[in-house]
Amino acid sequence: MTRETALNLALALALPAFVASAYVAEEPFLITLATRAAILALAATGLNLALGFGGLVSFGHAAFFGIGGYATGILASHAQDYTPLMESPFLIEGTQAMLIHWPVGMIAAGCAALVIGALSLRTSGVYFIMITLAFAQMFYYFAISWPAYGGEDGLPLYLRSSFPGMNTLQPLPFFTLVFVVLILAIGFCGMLSASRFGLALHGARQTPARLVAAGIGPFGVRMTAFVISAMLTALAGSLFADLNRFVSPSMMSWHLSGELIVLVILGGVGRLFGPLAGAMLYVAIEHVAGGLTDHWQFFVGLLLLAVVLFARGGLIGLLAGERGHV
């Protein structure tokens, strides 16, 4: 077992261990906190696929997070109001089922990523960052000005969406569900990274000219990664809506896009468990320092500076050393 594998295992066990002790200590709030970390980790795992593997610094992933959130919010709000979503040409009813919310949000985000990618992936560097940001802002303002689903005030949900065989309103089952989804997503990304497509994607980041010489167009590879990345982040958004039982345009704000980038950098860009490490660290700082001062973001900034200056591989790089081949 390499050092990174051991570290990954420890990271994967840390959150459930924390939750188990919170459960024993009867501190449901701490379970919810851990759930929040896991959901942010899932969103950042999605981003890491584009940013870490593909070198695509998207500053617009909040849009996908929000699309996932609104998919849950809209479908659930129709279910709780007993109003159909649409009556003609055919009837669509709302639903509380997560197993419907997730694919709807993911497909919607995937379609949005296709459009955003078609325009942004032809550019690179600062232009790419700006175009993804611009699109996310468009979604943000659209959500604000859409009164049917709460507009600026957002959309409260009375219940948590349902999952077969589970009481999702209880903190522990909901955490378990979120955590299993997270681990599956990380495993999926690990499989992708080691696949043919993963090799091509890592290649598109490292030396696109070499990829071209191999007969592989970088655009298609990047686009595919961008779409999958958006879908994973949308899944996180959907769970986030259920966690808070509330959806609002702030899920799509550029602050969130930035936060996700920070998580990835803190944990280690392109490291499989980097987003999880980053999210746990971030939520821990938010909780501990946030209890002391309103300006807790200052400490995140300080830490980010330290990582960028002294530990380019983030937390994982610091603890497990240089990344293996890819």
Partner 1 sequence: MSEPVLKAGGLVKSFGAVVATDSVSLTLNDGEIHALIGPNGAGKSTLIKQITGELTQDSGSIEFAGKPLDGLTPQARARAGLGRSFQVSALMPEMSALQNVVLAAMVKEGGPYRFFRPVLAPGPLRDVAEAALDRVGLSTRAGARVAHLSHGERRQVEIAAALALGPRALLLDEPMAGMDPEGAARLTTLLEGLRHEAPILLVEHDMDAVFRLADRISVLVAGRIIAQGHPDEIRRDPAVRAAYLGDAP
User: Quick one: tokens of 130?
Assistant: 């700006």
Stretch that binds partner 1, among 150-158, 179-187, 190-198, 279-287 (CB under 8 A): 190-198
If the CB atoms of residues 237 and 270 are measured against partner 1, the closer one turns out to be: 270
Radius of gyration, alpha carbons of the chain: 19
| Residue of 9, 20, 169, 194 that binds partner 1 (CB under 8 A) | 194
Q: Name the packing angle between helices 254-267 and 28-48 (round to 10°).
A: 90
Distances (CA, A) of 23 to 17, 34, 171, 280: 10, 11, 9, 18
- In contact, 128 and 121? CB cutoff 8 Å: yes
As given in the structure block, the two tokens for residue 253 are 């704000």
d(CA 284, CA 290): 9
Which lies closer to partner 1 via its Cβ, residue 1 or residue 24? 1
Tell the smallest beta-carbon distance from residue 193 to partner 1 (Å).
10
Residue 60 interacts with partner 1 (CB under 8 A): yes or no: no
Nearer to partner 1, 72 or 193 (CB): 193
Q: Angle of helix 28-48 relative to helix 274-292, nearest 10 degrees?
A: 140
- Between 213 and 309, whose beta carbon lies closer to partner 1? 213
Cα 265 to chain centroid distance, Å, stands at 14
Say how far apart CA 161 and CA 154 lie, in whole Å. Answer: 17
29-37, 141-149, 204-212, 260-268 -> range binding partner 1 (CB under 8 A)? 204-212
Binding to partner 1 in span 208-237, by CB under 8 A: 209-217, 220-221, 224
Q: Which is nearer to partner 1, 231 or 283 (CB)?
A: 231
3-state secondary structure of 233: helix
User: Within 13 A of 97's CA, how many CA atoms are on the CB side?
Assistant: 9
**Which residue among 2, 5, 207, 293 contacts partner 1 (CB under 8 A)?**
207
Stretch that binds partner 1, among 151-159, 160-168, 188-196, 247-255 (CB under 8 A): 188-196
How many other C-beta atoms can be found within 10 angstroms of the C-beta atom of residue 325? 5
Q: How far is the CB of 191 from partner 1 (least distance, A)?
A: 6
CA–CA distance from 76 to each of 171, 270, 285 (Å)? Answer: 19, 35, 32
**Pair of tokens at residue 167:** 């009481």
Contact flag: residue 206 with partner 1 (CB under 8 A) = yes
The answer to whether residue 2 forms part of the interface with partner 1 (CB under 8 A) is no
Q: Which is nearer to partner 1, 89 or 215 (CB)?
A: 215
Binders of partner 1 among residues 294 to 323 (CB under 8 A) are 323
Amino acid present at 156:
P
Indicate whether 57 belongs to the interface with partner 1 (CB under 8 A). no
Residues that bind partner 1 (CB under 8 A): 191-192, 194-200, 202-203, 206-207, 209-217, 220-221, 224, 323, 325-326
